[in-house]
Amino acid sequence: MQQEDEGIDVVHCEGCGYDFEAVEMSGVILVHLQDGGTRELQLCSPVCFDFWAFSEPGDWVKLASGEKVQRAVWTCQKCATAYDYAKVQLLIDVLDYDPDDHVSEWHPEEWVICDTCHKAQPERFKTRREVGL
CA distances from 123 to 55, 91, 116, 127 (A): 24, 11, 13, 11
Does one domain contain both 67 and 83?
no
Portion of the chain with pLDDT greater than 70, in percent: 86
Closest-CA residue to 45 (of 62, 32, 26)? 26
Domain edge (last residue) among 71, 87, 105: 71
- Taking the C-alpha atoms of residue 34 and residue 86, their distance in angstroms, rounded to an integer, is 16
Q: Tell me how many degrees the CA angle 102-105-108 measures, rounded to the nearest 5.
A: 80
Does one domain contain both 78 and 67?
no
Residues in the chain: 133
CB atoms near residue 81 (< 10 Å): 13
How sure is the predictor about 3, in pLDDT bands with cuts at 50, 70 and 90?
A: low
Supply the mean pLDDT for the chain. Answer: 87
Section 19-27 average pLDDT: 90
Q: Which residue has the higher pLDDT, 105 or 66?
A: 66
Domain edge (last residue) among 31, 55, 71: 71
Residue 10 DSSP symbol: E
Secondary element (H or E) of residue 100: none
Can you give the pLDDT at residue 104? Answer: 55
Q: Residue 102 sits in which domain range?
A: 74-133
The string of pLDDT tens digits covering residues 80-115 is: 999 999 999 999 988 877 766 655 555 557 899 999
Does one domain contain both 79 and 67?
no
Domain edge (last residue) among 71, 93, 108: 71
Does one domain contain both 57 and 82?
no
